[in-house]
Structure 1
Amino acid sequence: MRTIKKKHKAISAPIDDLVTYRALPTQSVDYIDPFLFLNHHGPQVYKQNNRGLPFGPHPHRGFETLTFILDGDIMHQDTGGGKDVIEAGGVQWMTAGRGLIHAEVSSDKFKKEGGPMEILQLWFNLPAKYKMTEPKYIGLQKEGIPTVTEDDGKVKVNVVSGSWRDTEGPIPSLSDIHMASVELQQGGSFSTVVPAERNVFFYVVRGAVKVNGETAEKLTLVEFANDGDEISVEAQEDSYILFGHAKPFNEPVVAHGPFVMNSEEEIREAFRDYQMGKMGSWEG
């Protein structure tokens, strides 16, 4: 069974009127290679005639984003041609690659009607060989994500990428990143094996679970050592977690705002390319 290295509490980092907790990076953890960044927006309730999410057009290069919509919706648009509205239970996976501009805002319907909102966005690094790959966007509604049930239905694993048991996730990962969201009823449990050389990503969104013998409550990122291969989880109350794993890239990480590269010079180049319009021009 893997040893828990440390448990990191997400910090409050509101953005305008958007309730936000940042789990990565914080003062206690920089990143868990190749998992770079996690913002947990909400939970909160928006009133009618609200402004919605504040993420207007902005550029990215050198990494990928995976967004989980638990409540509410996101209207996505990017300069690579991606455009849709994903609702509760769905996900969005964007490979920024060599660069694009995108916006993530609420739909007109949500802004008019309001309602509950909870969204998580996770950033994965891209290895140097894929930093300048062609951008790509995939949006999936809840129905497009396969679910594996465990423990007589007390555990539901929503498989996004990689595999779980014999079920393949619908989104192919360039870097063999396995990601799922897991819904657990109180008392529900599961065990899984992750090879020791792979880094585990484990974040408790809601509830509280016992993982490898230690309690982890909501808003907690659990960091594991690479000294075993078994992960065992039991829900102490109804819970929701993000769970994934990947081989670390062991490459330099230089992050500046919306760009993640391997050197300062590549960051400067990214800013130049953006200013020169090489990541596309925005037509909102």
Structure 2
Amino acid sequence: MPKILKIRELGFHWETLDPFLFCAYHQDDFPKGNENLGPDPSYLSGRIPGNDFTKKDGFRMYHGQKVPGFPGHPHAGFETITLVEEGFADHSDSLGAKGRFGNGDVQWMTAGKGILHSEMFPLVHQDQKNPLVLFQLWLNLPARSKKVNPHFKMFWNEDIPVEKINDANGNGISVKLIAGKLCNQKAIAPTPDSFAAKEENHVQIWRITMDAHAEWVLPASKANTNKMLFFYSGSQIEADGFTIQEKHSLVLNPTEELLLKNATTKAEFLLLEGMPINEPVVQQGPFVANSRTEMMEVINTYQHSQFGGWPHDVYENVHDKNTGRFAQYANGKIEHPTKKN
């Protein structure tokens, strides 16, 4: 069996394999912010308010009118895992929870039976640009978990395990563990009802950085998992006899080790792996179900309940410009990142 089963070019939404539904990758060079945490109004001319997905002046507004991002919208039947590697995201939801996270933080949210939430990208700096690098993974839930109570958890960057490795020539490799384990490092536990909460589902989410000229053997994994490597930033790598340019994904044989040889610039990867759920998937916009009948039930529930309604003043909700990183949960508990020396 070959070690690389398929090579694909990356688009705006990255195609994934069961148990993942897809991955959205956002890279925006946002300008300086104004007092309302959005770009200067001069940047908004020529755009389509509320539906701006064409990169102009280096960034998009997405569904935001004044602040870029995604105002209040529903989800049900799956999980979102949001990695903000650079910049910030402001979260608000129908449970009354809210938060600001970024610069390496991760939010793990199990939507379950349904939640409304917003994800806005506040331009907190008025004296410098506000670049954003963000991944959002959609992880499916099995039928037995599709109606669990919604819940979110913060993984602060300071607490996320990182495995650091040097190759034979002293070149560095860094593996940030969002889910799963590597060597003696184990990721933070996800939300209680997550598909990743059970080790037998073998969910692995790694952010890998390789120095220029670094070589590293990506370890073999459990048989029957679906395993993909996304090479999203760098120049090129050598692997299994292929020369692969950046912005490509690799579908891998999970039972085989894979030697990665990086070229002359730093390379960045995202690895996704997990046992397939192997259930029917019916997706309609922000909802995921196992059948058309169940989908209609979800839509009906949302139309009648709005998943509890929206307790915030506006759907495009952002927090005070002087607010640092925090999470306020539905029970009122407030959490801040762990300070480390």
Q: TM-score, normalised on structure 1? A: 0.86
Residue in structure 2 matching 1:193, options 180, 205, 220: 220
- Say yes or no: does 1:33 pair with 2:61: no
Listed one character per residue, the Cα deviations across residues 194-225 of structure 1 (whole Å, up to 9, x for unaligned) are: 12311113112211333333233332221234
> Which residue of 2 is the match for residue 23 of structure 1?
14
Measured after TM superposition, the shift of residue 108 of structure 1 is: 6.0
Residue in structure 1 matching 2:154, options 139, 150, 167: 139
- Say yes or no: does 1:213 pair with 2:241: yes
- Say yes or no: does 1:120 pair with 2:135: yes
Listed one character per residue, the Cα deviations across residues 122-152 of structure 1 (whole Å, up to 9, x for unaligned) are: 1111111111122111122321211110125
Moved more, 122-131 or 165-174: 165-174
State how far apart, in whole Å, the 2-side matches of 1:47 and 1:203 are.
Answer: 30
Amino acid at match of 2:283: A
> Which residue of 2 is the match for residue 18 of structure 1?
none
State how far apart, in whole Å, the 1-side matches of 2:13 and 2:239 are.
Answer: 21
The structure with more radius of gyration: 2
Amino acid at match of 1:194: S
Measured after TM superposition, the shift of residue 113 of structure 1 is: 5.7
State how far apart, in whole Å, the 1-side matches of 2:82 and 2:171 are.
Answer: 25
Question: Over aligned residue pairs, what C-alpha RMSD do you find?
Answer: 2.1
User: Equivalences for 1:1-284 in 2 at 5 Å?
Assistant: 3-11=3-11, 21-24=12-15, 31-49=16-34, 50=39, 51-107=66-122, 109-110=124-125, 114-151=129-166, 152=170, 154-172=172-190, 173-174=196-197, 175-191=201-217, 192-207=219-234, 208-225=236-253, 228-236=255-263, 237-277=265-305, 279-284=307-312
Instruction: Indicate the SS of the match to 2:299.
Output: helix
Amino acid at match of 2:147: M
Listed one character per residue, the Cα deviations across residues 25-44 of structure 1 (whole Å, up to 9, x for unaligned) are: xxxxxx41111111111142
In structure 2, relative to structure 1, the CA distance for the partners of 1:206 and 1:114 (3 Å cut) is: same
In structure 2, relative to structure 1, the CA distance for the partners of 1:269 and 1:140 (3 Å cut) is: same
Amino acid at match of 1:167: Q
State how far apart, in whole Å, the 1-side matches of 2:227 and 2:120 are.
Answer: 30
Moved more, 160-169 or 174-183: 174-183
State how far apart, in whole Å, the 1-side matches of 2:158 and 2:292 are.
Answer: 42
Measured after TM superposition, the shift of residue 61 of structure 1 is: 0.7
Partners of 1:8 and 1:23 within 8 A in 2: no
Moved more, 205-214 or 64-73: 205-214
> Runs (4+) of structure 1 moved beyond 6 Å?
none
Partners of 2:94 and 2:115 within 8 A in 1: yes
Percent of pairs with identical residues: 29
In structure 2, relative to structure 1, the CA distance for the partners of 1:53 and 1:209 (3 Å cut) is: farther
State how far apart, in whole Å, the 1-side matches of 2:127 and 2:295 are.
Answer: 39
Partners of 1:35 and 1:201 within 8 A in 2: no
Measured after TM superposition, the shift of residue 85 of structure 1 is: 0.8
Instruction: Indicate the SS of the match to 2:293.
Output: helix
